[in-house]
Chain A
Amino acid sequence: MTVWPGPSASAGHRQVAWLSVGSTQRFYQIDPDGANAPAPAGPLPPAWYDEPVMPASPLAVEAHDLAKTFRSGWLRRRETPALRGASLRVERGAIFGLLGPNGAGKTTLLSILATLLLPDRGSATILGHDVVREAFAIRRRLNMASGNASFVWSLRPAEVLAFYGRLYGLHGRSLRTRVAELLDRFELTPHLKTEYNELSTGLKQRLALAKALLNRPEVLFLDEPTLGLDPDVSIRIRAQIAELRRREGTTIILTTHYMREADELCDRIAFIKGGRILAEGSPDELKRQIRIGDVVALRLDPAAPAGLADLAGVLQVQARGDRIECTVDSAEKRLSEILRWLVEQHVVIRDCQVHEPELEEVFVELAR
């Protein structure tokens, strides 16, 4: 997006502007006199984000060297390694994404953390409890929703919620209130008379999410929560996931194939392939990590000043119509240097846009 003056266009002698980049709404100070660092508070959070109150222990999930091999067959024994030593740490209140191609081990990892699968090797804790030895204790505090979730076909939405609500110990008025609240929140109330098997895919998915919130989980696992949904339904579900973290501070670990979903929702992302975590970091860190480079697109007068390509960190300069595109190692580091140099050269800056690499490009790079 374009550079525009911020709410306070100058701070002392510093010229400050706000710059949003791509769809991620990152904000930078553009300061010809200083480094082009992110705003002091870091990237401004999206509108839905409201810092949750963090409990004392910072980690919600900690996994170390998890391995799992599935075995099948009687006479001809087949072994399928699904996880080959995965480790990760997820802070409380974070949304953590697991990305990877089909068969990468995402669901296996999620299932071990959710106590549905026993690892062959390694250890993991959820909220400080071991997922193998203290599984029963932590099941009260976690929940899970899958993209292909299924419930008993003849039950109606309220009955599905009432059944699982009882399994979480809810009863009487608290059960009725919670069920009604979730039916309302996920707009399932008009479908009270419809049996599960007759619900649309989107409604089934919303019911799965409602079920996953029955016990107000502190840790929520979402396995491809928007799989196969229409874009409008996906957007609503993503909004509900974001809302969940904002309102309740729930730690969310989700697997997804949709890069945009991960980029939009996740604080940190792990790329998993062949049962191993290949890279982990914030979406921005991952984009930088594989060094695809950022593009600074400029509309200048004069259009193509000589010497721009020689600046430090500029990898490439290309003319595209009335603009020039400078590929730089890091826009965060180089933007102010470029702008300062242009000002010194008395070049008029008519427009400036910064494009970071899409997460999809990172995914393709890592999945190779």
Chain B
Amino acid sequence: MSWRAEPIAAGAGAAEWWMEEWVRLSAFAYRNLIMARRNVFFLFELTFWPGVAMLSHGLLTRFLDLTPQMTAFILVGTVALSAVQVCQLDVAYAVLFDIWSKSMKHQFLTPVRIHHLALGSWVVGVGRGVIVWALMAVIGGRAFGFDFLGAGGMRVALFLLGCFLTALVIGLLVCALVLLWGTRAETSAWAAVNFFVMLSGIYYPVSVLPGWVQTISAGIPLTYFLDGIRAGYGFPPRFAHPFVIGFALSLLYAVLAHWALAAAVTRSRRTGLLLKLSE
């Protein structure tokens, strides 16, 4: 092998290509994991806020003397919000870490592509989202008798996957906004999720929303995932095949969000924002 050889030789076979893809993808997972391990704030994200949300909403259902079915309706929304929030933050961190440390250009100087950045950090987000779900399921079960798995294992798995795909889309959009507007758009990392979950019927059926808002809700994948999981707790589904529609929309939006982030990166190279975010 030449001393100047590529880390993984150009023109290598499919196995090497996949290895290279995985290695680049794993870089972001590696960084997010280190940051999650080292920073107390990340532990708060994982335990404190989801725990507080589950306890406060659970207590609210007790106070309102809701039926177990209605309690499930509310607490499913609580879990969805926390899981999506934690997972999408991990995706957004792929850009935010570099914004905060002013090291953006080094990342985009490498032969990295948007999907490496997105999927690498998303994998860690999924892991952290599952931890959040498990923690909330335990708290919900022990404190309020809410059996999350009562909806059926497969349904829960599909619901969580749907939440994480929604998180991927939102995370990519946050990254795109930050690369379009710089640090001014940083707060969108926290605000964006709340906006989307509000429209998707987080603690209420979308039927209570005004008609034109319902039209918007119908375009949000999380609306369908919430509808799908709640059907498992005995609520009549509003949509036929909610998971199918939800996944189809998620994949479509993931592609569009990927394109939007790629376009934002290109624009930041044109405007010089990429350099400004590194100074």
- A positions within 8 Å CB-CB of B: 70-71, 107, 111, 114-118, 136-137, 139-140, 142-144, 146, 148-155, 159, 162-164, 166-171, 174, 196, 211, 215-216, 218, 248
B20 touches A169 (CB 8 A): yes
CA–CA, A71 and B273, complex, Å: 11
Known: A111-B275, A166-B26, A169-B23. A143 touches B109 (CB 8 A): yes
Q: Is B107 at the interface (CB under 8 A from chain A)?
A: yes
Query: B108 — which chain A residues lie within 8 A by C-beta?
Result: 116
Stretch at the interface among B1-9, B188-196, B239-247: B1-9
Query: B275 — which chain A residues lie within 8 A by C-beta?
Result: 107, 111, 116-117
CA–CA, A114 and B275, complex, Å: 12
Interface of B (DSSP majority class): helix
Sample of 9 A–B contacts (CB below 8 Å): A118-B266, A146-B278, A150-B101, A151-B103, A152-B100, A154-B39, A166-B30, A169-B6, A171-B19
B10, B19, B269 pick with most chain A CB within 10 angstroms: B269
CA–CA, A269 and B135, complex, Å: 62
B23 touches A170 (CB 8 A): yes
Of A71, A148, A163, A167, which one neighbours B111 at CB under 8 angstroms?
A167
Chain B residue with the shortest CB-CB distance to A221: B109
Chain B residue with the shortest CB-CB distance to A139: B111
CA–CA, A351 and B8, complex, Å: 60
Q: Is B35 at the interface (CB under 8 A from chain A)?
A: yes
A167 touches B270 (CB 8 A): no
Chain B min CB distance to A226 (Å) = 18
Of A115, A117, A154, A215, which one neighbours B272 at CB under 8 angstroms?
A117
* A116-B105, A117-B275 known, 8 other contacts, Cβ within 8 Å: A70-B271, A148-B279, A149-B106, A150-B102, A154-B38, A166-B24, A166-B27, A169-B20
A166 touches B109 (CB 8 A): no
CA–CA, A49 and B7, complex, Å: 27
Instruction: Provide the B88-128 mask, 1 if CB < 8 A to any CB of A, else 0.
Output: 00000000011011110111111111001000000000000
A174 touches B112 (CB 8 A): no
Query: B6 — which chain A residues lie within 8 A by C-beta?
Result: 140, 169
Chain A min CB distance to B213 (Å) = 30
Of A117, A139, A162, which one neighbours B269 at CB under 8 angstroms?
A117
Chain B min CB distance to A79 (Å) = 12
Q: How many residues of B contact A (CB 8 A)?
A: 43
CA–CA, A167 and B112, complex, Å: 6
Query: A118 — which chain B residues lie within 8 A by C-beta?
Result: 266, 269-270
Chain B residue with the shortest CB-CB distance to A215: B7
CA–CA, A171 and B25, complex, Å: 12
Query: B105 — which chain A residues lie within 8 A by C-beta?
Result: 111, 116, 144
A164 touches B110 (CB 8 A): yes
A167 touches B271 (CB 8 A): no
Closest 8 CB pairs of A and B: A166-B27, A167-B110, A169-B7, A139-B111, A171-B23, A170-B7, A150-B102, A152-B101
CA–CA, A291 and B34, complex, Å: 58
Query: A159 — which chain B residues lie within 8 A by C-beta?
Result: 31, 34
Query: A70 — which chain B residues lie within 8 A by C-beta?
Result: 271-272
Known: A163-B30, A169-B24. A151 touches B110 (CB 8 A): no
A114, A118, A169, A196 pick with most chain B CB within 10 angstroms: A169
CA–CA, A71 and B276, complex, Å: 13
A168 touches B279 (CB 8 A): no
A152 touches B31 (CB 8 A): yes
Of B19, B35, B272, B278, which one neighbours A152 at CB under 8 angstroms?
B35
Instruction: Provide the B246-279 mask, 1 if CB < 8 A to any CB of A, else 0.
Output: 0000000000000000000010011110110011
Query: A111 — which chain B residues lie within 8 A by C-beta?
Result: 105, 275
Query: A196 — which chain B residues lie within 8 A by C-beta?
Result: 101
A163 touches B7 (CB 8 A): no
Chain A residue with the shortest CB-CB distance to B34: A159
B8 touches A169 (CB 8 A): yes
Chain A min CB distance to B164 (Å) = 23
Chain B min CB distance to A182 (Å) = 14
Of A117, A149, A150, which one neighbours B274 at CB under 8 angstroms?
A117
B4 touches A216 (CB 8 A): yes
B30 touches A152 (CB 8 A): no
CA–CA, A146 and B102, complex, Å: 12
